[in-house]
Amino acid sequence: MNIKDLEDAWRSRASESPEEIVEDAIDMAKSNIISLQRHINSLLTMFNGDTTCFAEPWIQGKLNLADDYIKAVHDYVASENQEGESDARSK
């Protein structure tokens, strides 16, 4: 996908309301999290078999990177939720 494709995709959404765009983004995030969960569960069941491949450096690197990314998202969302609750209580 090039820049023109991205610009065209963005323009095609111009007729949508901001609420629809946010709703689509939320749906996509939920879908991604469900996919992550499915793949993680599958990987966990693979520990019942030959686990030597989990020691390969490139796998360790990918798992560490994924862990860092998921922790960052989790911590951000948790922080935003706490701020929202704090703001609601102060009103």
* Per-residue pLDDT tens digits for 73-83: 999 999 999 88
Render pLDDT for 14-59 as a digit per residue (tens, 0 to 9): 777 888 888 888 999 999 999 999 999 999 999 988 899 999 999 9
Structural domain range at position 78: 51-91
In the chain, the number of structural domains is 2
pLDDT score at 6: 63
pLDDT score at 3: 74
**45 lies in the same domain as 65:** no
**40 lies in the same domain as 61:** no
Structure tokens at 26: 């939320």
Is 13 within 8 Å of 21 (Cβ atoms)? yes
For residues 91 and 77, give the distance between their C-alpha atoms in angstroms, rounded to a whole number: 21
Cα–Cα distances in Å, from 61 out to 18, 35, 53, 66, 75? 38, 20, 13, 9, 21
Look at residue 5 and tell me if it is in a domain. Answer: no
**71 lies in the same domain as 84:** yes
